[in-house]
Structure 1
Amino acid sequence: MLLGVIADDFTGASDIANTLAKGLTGGDGLRTVQYLGIPKVEADPAVEAGVIALKSRSIAAALAVEQSLAALRWLLDQGCRQVVFKYCSTFDSTPAGNIGPVAEALAEALGVRGVIACPAFPGAGRTVYQGHLFVKDRLLDESGLENHPLNPMTDADIRRWLRLQTQTEVGHVDMATVQRGPVAIEAALRENGAKGRTLVIVDAITDGDLTAIGRAAAGHPLVTGGSSIAIGLAANFIESGLAGGTGANAAGLDGPEAILAGSCSGATRQQVEIHRRDHPTLAIDVAGVVAGTVRATDVASFLLTNGGRAPLAYSSGTPEEVEALQVRFGRERVAASLDALFAETACMLVAAGIRRLVVAGGETSGAVVSALDLGALAIGAEIDPGVPVLLSGGERPVALALKSGNFGAPDFFAKALERLAGR
C-alpha cells in the first residue's frame, strides 16, 4: 500500500476513495479499497490506496485521537508512504472539535510540521480564499451549511476556528503563492513549519489549484483536507512508477433496493421531496423513535413491502424542526435513537435480501455500515461528484451508495439505484 487515508466519517471516506480511484482524468487513479473501521488483518498486496472510515467526527476529541493514531499505525504497517487525514469540506467542527487535535496528533507521530490543511472542494462549490471557507459565493457562516445539527461551524475564518482547537499557531499559504505553482507552495509550507506552525491553511479555488497543491505534497508524510485534496496525489505515485494507474474497477450489482435518509441538509431535503413524487416514501416520526413507538421492524416492513418501486424512508427535517426535537429530548438522545433505528433497519433489509442500498447522511451512513460489518469495499463508478458505487464481497454482496448530506443532484436517489445496478 502506497497511500493511506484516515477519514472521520463514512461518507467522507467514500468521497476521497472515489477521488483516489478516479485520478486526474478518470482512468489514472490508484487501486483503492475502503475499510469500515480499522482492519484486523493485513491488506491485499494489490491495494495501492487504503481508506479507513472512522465514525470519529462527533465523538470526544481524546477518543478521536486514539482511534486515528490506531488507524495510522495500521496504515504504516502496510507500508504507506503518505497519509491523508480527511475531514468535511464544510469543516464541520465546533471549537472543542476533533480536526485540530487529530491533525496535530498525527503530525507529532510522523514528526512533521508545515502540514497542508485545505478543505476546498471546488466541484461542490467549497473554496478557500484568504484563509476563509466559501460555499459558492457565500462565506460558510452565511451559507446555511453552518447549521450542522451535531457540529455547527459558525466562523468562515478557518485559521481562527482551527486555532481554537490546536496547540500551535496555524499558518497560511495565500492564493498568490498557490498560483505560482508547486515549488512556491512547497517553499511556503517549509517556511511555516520552520516557524513552528504544525497546520497550514492553503488557499484553493479551482481543481487546478488542488492539483498544484498535490504536486507540492509529493513526499510529504501527512496531508489533511477535504476529499479534493487528493486530486493530484495519485499522479505522484503513478509518475514515479510506484503505481500502475488502474483506478476504479468494481462492477455494479442488481437486486432488491431500498433508500434510507437521515440527513437534514437542504440538499437531502430537496432530494427527498423530488423522490417522493413518484415513489413510495415513509416519513419517520422522530419523537416516536425516541419514545420507542416507532421501531425498525416498522421501517423495514414498509421498504420490503414496496420493493421494486425504489422505496425511501427518511427522518430529514428543517433546522427548526431538528432544534425543537433536540430541545425536547436532548441532542445526544435523538442522534443515538436514530442511529440505532437506521442500523437495525439496514440489518433487517440485507438479511431479507436487499442488495442495493442507498444511505444519505454521514452519521446515518456510519451507523448503517458499522452494523452491517461488510468488511472492505471495492470502489466502482461515480454516481455524482464525491459519491461512488461501493461493492462488498462475500457470499451475499451488497452495492452501496453512501451520500454526504449536502452532496448529489436533485434526482440523486433514483440515479444512485441505477448506478448501483451497473446501469
Structure 2
Amino acid sequence: MLLGVIADDFTGAGDIANTIAKGLPGQGGLRTVQYLGIPPKAAAGDVEAGVISLKSRSVDAAIAVRQSLDALQWLLDQGCEQIVFKYCSTFDSTPAGNIGPVGEALAEALGVKGVVACPAFPEAGRTVYQGHLFVKDRLLSESGLQNHPLNPMSDADLRRWLRLQTNSDVGHVDIAAVRKGSQAIEAALRRNAEEERVLVIVDAITDSDLVAIGRAAAAHRLVTGGSGIALGLAANFVERGLARGTDTGSPAVDGPEAILAGSCSGATREQVEIHGRNHPILAIDVAGVMGGKVAMSDLTSFLLANRGRAPLVYSSGSPDEVQAIQARFGREKVAEALDRLFADTAQALIGAGIRRLVVAGGETSGAVVSALDLGALTIGPEIDPGVPVLISNGDAPVALALKSGNFGAPDFFSKALERLSGR
C-alpha cells in the first residue's frame, strides 16, 4: 500500500476514495479500497490506496485522537509512504473540535511540521482564499453552515478557528505563492516548519491549485484537508513508477432499493422535496421517535411496501425545527436516537433483501455502515462530485451511495439508484 487515508466520517471517506481512484485525466488513479473502521487483518496485496472510515468528527477530541492514531499504525504496517487526514470541505469542527488535535497528534507521531491543511473542493464550491473558507460566493460563516446541528461554523477564518484547537501557531500559504507553483509552495511550507508551525492553511481556488499543492507535498509524510487535496497525490506515485494508474471500472448491483435521509442541510432538503414529487416519501416524526411512538418497523414497513418506486424516509428539518427539537429533548439524545433508528432500519432492510441503499448525511451514513459491517468496499464510478458508487464484497453484495448533506445535484436520489444498478 502506497497511500493511506484516515477519514473522520464515512461519506468523506467515500469522497476522497473516489478522488484517489479517479486520479488525473489521462493517468488514472490508484487501486483504492475503503474500509469501514480499522480492518482486523492486513490489506490485500494489490491495494495501492487504503481509506479508513472512522466516525470521529463529532466525538470527544481525545477519542478521535486515539482512533486516528490506531488507524495510522495500521496504515503504516501496510507500508504506506504517505498519510492523508481527511476532514470535511466545510471544516466541520467547533472550537473544541477534532481537526486540530488529530492533525497535531498525527504530525507528532510522524515527526513532521509544516503540514498542509486545505479543505478546498472547488468542484463543490468550497474554496480557500487568504486563509478564509468560502462556500461558493459566501464566507463559510454566512453560508448556512453556522446552523449545522452538530458542528456549527461561526468563523470562516481557518487560521483563527484552528488556532483555538491547537498547541502551536497556524501558518498560511497565500494564493500568490500557490500560483507560483509547487516549488514555491514547498518552500513556504518548509519555512513554516522551521518556525515550528505544525499545521499550515494553504489557499486553493481551482483544481489546478490543488494539483500544485499535491505535487509540492509529494515527499511529505502527512497531508490534511478535504477530498480535493488528493487530486494530485495519485499522480505522484504513477509518475515515480510505483503505480500503473487504473480506472475505477463500473461495478454495479441491481435489486430492491431504499433511501434514508438524515441530513438537515439545505441541499438535502431540496433533494427530498424534488424526489417526493414523483416518488413515495415519509417524514419521520422526531418527537414521536423520542417518545417511543415511532419505531424501526414503521420505516421498514413503508420502504418495503414501496419497493420498485424509489421510496425515501427522512428526518430533515429547517434550522428552526431542528433547534426546537434539540431544545426540547437535548442535542446528543436526538442525534443518538436518530442514528440508532437509521442503523436498525438499514439492518432490517438488508435482511429483507434490499440491495441498493442510498444514505444522506455524514452522521447517518456512519451509523448505517457501522451497523451493516460490510467490510471493505470497492470504489465504483462517480454519481455526482464527491459521491462514488460503493460495492460490498461477498455472496450477496450491496451497492451503497453515501452522500454528505450538502453534496449532490437536485435529482441526486433517483440518479444514485440508477447508477448503483449500472444504468
Report TM bin, short chain: over 0.9
Gaps spanning 5+ residues in structure 2: where? Answer: none
Which residue pairs with 1:118 in the alignment? 118
Which residue pairs with 1:362 in the alignment? 362
Which residue pairs with 1:98 in the alignment? 98
Q: Which amino acid aligns with 2:222?
A: L
CA contact (8 A) 1:252 1:420 kept: yes
> What's the secondary structure of 1:391's corresponding residue?
strand
Which residue pairs with 1:351 in the alignment? 351
Q: Which amino acid aligns with 2:233?
A: L
User: CA shift at 1:361, angstroms?
Assistant: 0.1
1:334-345 superposed matches below 5 A: 334-345=334-345
Residue 388 (1) aligns with residue 388 (2): yes
User: CA shift at 1:247, angstroms?
Assistant: 3.2
> What's the secondary structure of 2:146's corresponding residue?
coil
Q: Which stretch shows the higher mean deviation, 52-61 or 27-36?
A: 27-36
Deviation readout 1:63-115 (Å, 9 max, x if unpaired): 00000000000000000000000000010100000000000000000000000
> What's the secondary structure of 1:11's corresponding residue?
helix
> What's the secondary structure of 2:379's corresponding residue?
strand
Which residue pairs with 1:303 in the alignment? 303
Which residue pairs with 1:216 in the alignment? 216
Deviation readout 1:23-68 (Å, 9 max, x if unpaired): 1117611100000000000000100000000000000000000000
> What's the secondary structure of 1:289's corresponding residue?
helix
Which residue pairs with 2:415 in the alignment? 415
CA contact (8 A) 2:84 2:222 kept: yes
Matches of 2:290 and 2:69 in 1, distance apart? 34
Which residue pairs with 1:376 in the alignment? 376
Deviation readout 1:269-305 (Å, 9 max, x if unpaired): 0000000000010100011111111001110110000
Matches of 1:46 and 1:70 in 2, distance apart? 22
> What's the secondary structure of 1:146's corresponding residue?
helix
Deviation readout 1:175-200 (Å, 9 max, x if unpaired): 00000000000000000000000000
Which residue pairs with 2:69 in the alignment? 69
CA contact (8 A) 1:20 1:247 kept: no
Q: Which amino acid aligns with 1:121?
A: F
Which residue pairs with 1:400 in the alignment? 400
> What's the secondary structure of 1:260's corresponding residue?
strand
Q: Which stretch shows the higher mean deviation, 385-394 or 291-300?
A: 291-300
Which residue pairs with 2:236 in the alignment? 236
> What's the secondary structure of 1:67's corresponding residue?
helix
CA contact (8 A) 1:26 1:247 kept: no
User: CA shift at 1:254, angstroms?
Assistant: 0.5
Runs of 4+ with >4 A deviation? none
Which residue pairs with 2:172 in the alignment? 172
Matches of 2:301 and 2:75 in 1, distance apart? 41
Matches of 1:250 and 1:332 in 2, distance apart? 39
| RMSD between aligned residues | 0.7
Which residue pairs with 2:202 in the alignment? 202
Identity value in percent? 77
| TM-score normalized by the length of structure 1 | 0.99
CA contact (8 A) 1:342 1:367 kept: yes
Matches of 2:146 and 2:267 in 1, distance apart? 14
Deviation readout 1:173-224 (Å, 9 max, x if unpaired): 0000000000000000000000000000000000000000000010100000
Matches of 1:356 and 1:106 in 2, distance apart? 36
Residue 44 (1) aligns with residue 13 (2): no
Which residue pairs with 1:155 in the alignment? 155
CA contact (8 A) 1:250 1:391 kept: no
CA contact (8 A) 1:32 1:247 kept: no
Task: Count matched residues.
Answer: 423
Matches of 2:265 and 2:220 in 1, distance apart? 35
Which residue pairs with 1:85 in the alignment? 85
Matches of 1:74 and 1:248 in 2, distance apart? 24
Q: Which stretch shows the higher mean deviation, 88-97 or 23-32?
A: 23-32
Gaps spanning 5+ residues in structure 1: where? Answer: none
